Copies of this chain bind each other. A is one copy, B any other.
């Protein structure tokens, strides 16, 4: 880890250029020289210094991905896909986490900027757009992945949440739901546009099915098990007749299911994400499977294309999800009235 190109050159009796070129694919160097250089490099434990290379070439070959919560499997899978896609195209990825805190987001963006990442894939956290502003200001290409504020007009690749809302509503109606509730997160003053779209799709289908659905049936909870558990009593308080709940993600849905069970109710629940645990027989949570892999891949490809063609990216794309029907709606739908407690 100590040797530089200079020492390798000297030791191999060639110029630095030759060494440099030997490490590049299909360069002009003869096989013999290349072999010799490689041998010496090996002996001297030489390895090209990316920082120097970047400095010289004026590009870091580095992307950043910013997610809200790395421990959430939904984001973790995105990170994995982005990483793999980027690597295939010769880019490294630095992963950052905002933990839903705007200040962390800004901090993360600053570090990306200093690291001279060439592109940013960003799952935006909340109502502050400071992070985005920084990216714009410093003219770093970015693309939103999955979530972004309601007034965002930049490039994105996301899951089609209107479709998701429609799927959920249609299914709830199918299983006989008359009093639906929607549980989605709210940060600061606004909601994510993803969840606004979810609501739009949900409300549209409910309306066409003549099921009343209004503001009073929308509840606020974050995307964790804990927050799901907490919100259920609020729902029950305002909607004692609730018989179907769509949650912002599976984790929240798991929490809601937990509370439903605890208080002895039977209410249809739908989550979003289709986590591995959701398919367990004991859980069997009906969920909306999002095309996360495709979304992440396309976002990554788009940003790299943008970087390499030096074009600004204008992609705005929403991919269609599918509904996975399980017991959390199928069983509860049948028994819910007879089993109700009150």
A binding-site residues for B, Cβ under 8 Å:
1-2, 45, 47-52, 54-55, 60, 70-71, 73, 76-77, 79-80, 83, 92-97, 111, 113-116, 137-140, 224-225, 251, 254, 257-258, 261-262, 276-277, 280-283
Contacts and interface: CB of A to CB of B under 8 A. Distances in A.
A48 B114 CA distance: 6
Contact of A51 (B54, B70, B92, B94): B54
A97 B80 contact: yes
Contacts of A60: 51
A276 B139 CA distance: 40
Contact of A49 (B55, B71, B94, B95): B55
Contacts of A93: 94
A50 B116 contact: yes
Nearest to A71: B76
Contacts of A48: 114
A76 B70 contact: yes
**Chain copies in the assembled complex:** 2
Given A1-B140, A51-B54, A51-B55, A225 B276 contact: yes
Contacts of A52: 55
30 contacts: A1-B140, A45-B137, A45-B138, A47-B113, A47-B138, A49-B55, A49-B114, A50-B114, A51-B51, A51-B54, A51-B55, A55-B55, A70-B76, A70-B80, A71-B76, A71-B77, A71-B80, A79-B95, A83-B95, A92-B111, A92-B115, A225-B277, A225-B280, A251-B276, A254-B280, A257-B280, A257-B282, A262-B281, A277-B277, A283-B283
Given A54-B51, A92-B94, A97-B83, A258 B281 contact: yes
Contacts of A277: 225, 254, 277
A79 B70 contact: yes
Nearest to A75: B76
The 3 closest A-B pairs by CB, nearest first: A1-B138, A71-B76, A95-B95
A225 B140 CA distance: 40
Contacts of A45: 137-139
Contacts of A281: 258, 261-262
A111 to B, nearest CB: 6
A254 B254 CA distance: 15
Nearest to A278: B277
A277 B250 CA distance: 11
Contact of A116 (B49, B96, B116, B140): B49
A99 to B, nearest CB: 8
Contacts of A258: 280-282
Interface centre among A2, A50, A83, A116 (most CB of B within 10 A): A50
Contacts of A257: 280, 282
Given A48-B114, A79-B95, A258-B281, 10 more contacts: A47-B113, A47-B114, A49-B55, A51-B116, A73-B73, A94-B95, A95-B95, A224-B276, A225-B276, A257-B280
Nearest to A225: B276
A332 to B, nearest CB: 13
A286 to B, nearest CB: 15
